[in-house]
Amino acid sequence: MRTTQMLIPTLRDDPGEAETVSHRLMLRAGMIRKVAAGVYTYLPLGLRVIRKVEGIVREEMNRAGAQELLMPIASPAELWRETGRWDFYGKELFRFKDRHERDFCLGPTHEEVITDLIRREVRSYRHLPLNCYQIQTKFRDEIRPRFGLMRGREFIMKDAYSFDKDEAGAQLSYQKMYDAYQRIFTRCGLTFRAVEADTGLIGGDVSHEFMVLAETGEATVVYTDHGTYAANLERAEVPPPTESDPAPLQPIKAVSTPNKRTVEEVTSFLNISPRQLVKTLLYKTGQEVLVVLIRGDHEVNEVKLARLLGVNEVTLASPLDVQVTTNAPVGFAGPVDLKTKVRVLADHAIKATRNMVVGANQPDAHLVNANLDRDFKVDQFADLRNAQAGDPSPRGDGRLTLAKGIEVGQVFLLGTKYSKKMNATILDAQGQERLAVMGCYGIGVSRTAAAAIEQNHDAKGIIWPVPIAPFHVHLLPLSQSTAVQEQAAHLYDQLGRAGIEVLWDDRDERAGVKFNDADLIGAPFHLVIGDKGLAQGHVELKTRKTGTVSKLPPSEVVGTVSSWINGPSTGH
């Protein structure tokens, strides 16, 4: 393609709205433009990358035995009411009414639609296992759309759904998808980790997320360096402490802590370690207010808390609820002599702590040397905190490390969650009706393109991994002389014939402008043709990633580029 014939509106300056590298570089390289919050147009260059990712996804899905279909974006509310997700999905579901006032939504995911199809069309176990996928635009009215393609309200997803006659078959289907995902993200040239994950709004029993490791990731990945444990922070288990505090119990007493509310304020005022302090947090779920006790140096994991309570989400109680329940303003709540009878949950670490400092349930006061059972009761202990770096691995294989990650894909073993609610049965070999056992598998195609940039860039711009680059070669003739122009046209033609994708900068621009745009756009190889070099019989081939330049005769260009593109890992 010639630059003059393509819409590539590059920007010299950083757009103010962009907070992350990928968002900034996609705007600057002329790959995307915003239409509304979280809604983007993919310009030709951006779309080429999306198509590359889709191509790899499609090949690996087909190779794993999945078959492609395409479901509608609009789906009727009745299907969602069958599973209860019309209500459960909440505000994230884009809803609309047709002219007959019938409720519809724009699909955020397609379990309902595919399950409806399969229950109608597949009757016998002989037709299973079955795995169907699509690559399609999805809609989720995210609370905070941001970071460009990373968290859109409209985005491209590959979603696959497997149906098996029994649990063992479903596990096999799950494993096949897991393996396909490993191949997909490896082929995309990304550094990633598969981690154990929570099942969230999709539900089910077992799940893994595929995380591209990058500083700007919104998710936290927890793993052991040499071991096998890897989970996301929401999920990462924290084993109960094995040793308890041997200190003798001291008499409880109240101390004045004027205006000291936060862990930092109280611990420095009383000159104690945050490990000695217990935070008393009040949560609300439905009408119930409950208390969660957590050590001062730990953070509550609200996903674990919600899972323990069997609810979708929990929220911190309002200051008014805190006042009504504890008789004290926020910052001074404690478990001793609570005014109101409420459920008290505590993280495991509380059991191993003695002589704790807690709020006194009156303004400007704390209690020191509060002790479990003697001074207050706990209704239930559980793993309620976030894992921290240095915590022991729940699998006993060393200590945990934390890193930031971008979730690019997730696989779920659903079991019969959807088939039961929608009565999707098949006949087994004995002619008995059985619920289909399902799995579902998503990949954020547009997010993967953005994640690749987060991981592969420098101060000048993008450095595309070869397999998903919009073009392999950026052809940069440095003058309008006949010799240079003819050589450029010749090499463009030759490279094209060899199946190499070339972006030909045929603008009459200064060399500096062309180099800057080429670095910004990030094709893996830059082919520079200048009068001086040509007079000496060579052109220059630059590797974007390393900056290394090879001078070579024009006749060797095609062979060299082909070997770099197709060869095993060449470091290019």
Residue nearest to Mg ion (CB): 410
Nearest approach in angstroms of CB 101 to Mg ion is 33
Should residue 232 be labelled a site residue for Mg ion when binding is judged by CB under 5 A?
A: no
Should residue 142 be labelled a site residue for ligand ATP when binding is judged by CB under 6 A?
A: yes
Question: Residue 470 is which amino acid?
Answer: P
Should residue 157 be labelled a site residue for ligand ATP when binding is judged by CB under 6 A?
A: yes
b/e code 300-323 from CB counts within 10 Å (16+ = b) = bbbbbbbbbbeeeebeebeeebbe
229 binds, among Mg ion, ligand ATP, none (CB under 5 to 8 A by kind): none
The HSE-up count of residue 99 (CA atoms within 13 Å, CB side) is 0
Strands (E) located in 144-277: 154-164, 192-196, 206-213, 219-224, 230-232, 253-256
82 binds, among ligand ATP, Mg ion, none (CB under 5 to 8 A by kind): none
Should residue 166 be labelled a site residue for ligand ATP when binding is judged by CB under 6 A?
A: no
Which residue has 């003739």 as its token pair? 477
What are the structure tokens assigned to 438, written together?
Answer: 């399902």
Nearest approach in angstroms of CB 111 to ligand ATP is 10
Should residue 116 be labelled a site residue for ligand ATP when binding is judged by CB under 6 A?
A: no
Nearest approach in angstroms of CB 8 to ligand ATP is 23
Nearest approach in angstroms of CB 306 to Mg ion is 16
Count of chain residues binding ligand ATP (CB under 6 A): 17
Query: Are the CB atoms for 270 and 256 separated by under 8 Å?
Result: no
Angle at 456 between CA 450 and CA 462, to 5 degrees: 75
Q: Which is nearer to Mg ion, 22 or 410 (CB)?
A: 410
Residue nearest to ligand ATP (CB): 444
Selected binder of ligand ATP within 104, 155, 161, 185 (CB under 6 A)? 155
Should residue 202 be labelled a site residue for ligand ATP when binding is judged by CB under 6 A?
A: yes
Which residues ranging from 409 to 438 are in contact with Mg ion (CB under 5 A)?
Answer: 410
Which DSSP state fits 459? T
Should residue 408 be labelled a site residue for ligand ATP when binding is judged by CB under 6 A?
A: yes
Which DSSP state fits 399? B
Region from 171-179, 224-232, 439-447, 532-540 binding ligand ATP, contact rule CB under 6 A? 439-447
Continuous segment of H or E residues that includes residue 184: helix 167-187
Per-residue HEC secondary structure of 35-66 comes to: EECCEEEECHHHHHHHHHHHHHHHHHHHHCCC
Site string for Mg ion, 384-413 (x = CB under 5 A): --------------------------x---
Q: Which is nearer to ligand ATP, 48 or 153 (CB)?
A: 153
CA 21 to mean position of chain CA atoms: 16
Spatial distance between the Cα atoms of 569 and 572, rounded to a whole number of angstroms: 7
User: In the complex, which residues of this chain contact ligand ATP (CB under 6 A)?
Assistant: 109, 140, 142, 151-152, 155, 157, 200, 202, 407-410, 442, 444, 446-447
User: In the complex, which residues of this chain contact Mg ion (CB under 5 A)?
Assistant: 410
